[in-house]
Structure 1
């Protein structure tokens, strides 16, 4: 008679995980496709002035939980998709951009435009989960490599990267200190 070992969980202590860094960005991989068929999980530091730009995924569902700091966020289809900025968007039901503080959860179903930006002078930190894995793992690896130069983002390279990973960019990614 063969006995199979019982399944074991995956524990990642505080301060642990595989961390990718640039001068301003930091993403720590907590749970990857190696550990879960359901979702990848990350801890993300969002520097002052960083704006991921409004975008949409056709296949991915995402969850954001604000741990520290404040982020402006949206998760809705706007009445009008303006090309330059998402901050003034309004939904068909009257929703607008929200200032998310620690403890705020944002669930983004596939097909829903969404964005976040750090308009403050201090870093923000969030728990980020994406399903299914491992697309966001690969995306973060390549994005941080592109942003590692510290100069202005190469929008053409980021656009090509996002297209490979089911990300339709609706407004530009920006990284500038806001005051």
Structure 2
């Protein structure tokens, strides 16, 4: 569809993005598989979204804080343990965990069952962090906590060192 302007020019309406069940960019990070559903290119970089499948007993990243984006996690299946500061929260299917900029957090699948969650990033900048991690693995670099922290730092994210 198009809209007509006062000068008679026709301008295109924004395109709607549809990502089907088998579509989207796949990022493999050890025992975690991410499917990028929106990398920000269709939302003016206001929103990124990914589906993550965490294998049983998958550790998460070091506890950290984002300075420039909020994250949301909706648990689709399984249970994901979120650590927020010194508090653990076991989020079962149907739970939404919203992490505003500045809040310390990490997550892991500590169970013997896979867990699936939908993650949002507002704005989208953190989607590239996952691509960076995949590139590190492809280049033969181990995803140590230190390497992870270095990659995070490129996206206004720092470790929450005030918590164990």
The 1:39–1:152 alpha-carbon spacing in structure 2 relative to 1, beyond 3 Å, is same
State the match for 1:70 in structure 2: 79
Q: TM-score, normalised by structure 2?
A: 0.82
- Residue deviations 1:16-74 (CA, integer Å, cap 9, x gap): 11111245221111011211132100011122222223110111101100011111113
Do structure 1's residue 158 and structure 2's residue 148 form an aligned pair? yes
* Aligned CA-pair RMSD: 2.1
Q: Distance in 2 between matches of 1:15 and 1:74?
A: 31
State the match for 1:175 in structure 2: none
Q: 1:47 aligns with which of 46, 55, 66?
A: 55
- Residue deviations 1:73-118 (CA, integer Å, cap 9, x gap): 134xx4xxxxxxxxxx1xxxxxx31111111001111111111111
Secondary structure in 1 aligned to 2:133?
Answer: helix
Q: 1:14 aligns with which of 21, 33, 37?
A: 21
Give the superposition deviation at 1:143: 1.3
Q: TM-score, normalised by structure 1?
A: 0.76
The 1:151–1:4 alpha-carbon spacing in structure 2 relative to 1, beyond 3 Å, is closer
Select the structure with the greater relative contact order (CA < 8 A; seq sep ≥ 6).
1
The 1:48–1:152 alpha-carbon spacing in structure 2 relative to 1, beyond 3 Å, is farther
Do structure 1's residue 29 and structure 2's residue 20 form an aligned pair? no
Q: Distance in 2 between matches of 1:159 and 1:27?
A: 19
Unaligned stretches of 5+ residues in structure 1: 79-88, 90-95, 172-179
Structure 1 or 2, whichever has the larger Rg, is: 2
1:25–1:47 CA contact under 8 A, matched in 2 = yes
Aligned length: 152
State the match for 1:116 in structure 2: 107
Do structure 1's residue 104 and structure 2's residue 112 form an aligned pair? no
Q: Distance in 2 between matches of 1:70 and 1:165?
A: 27
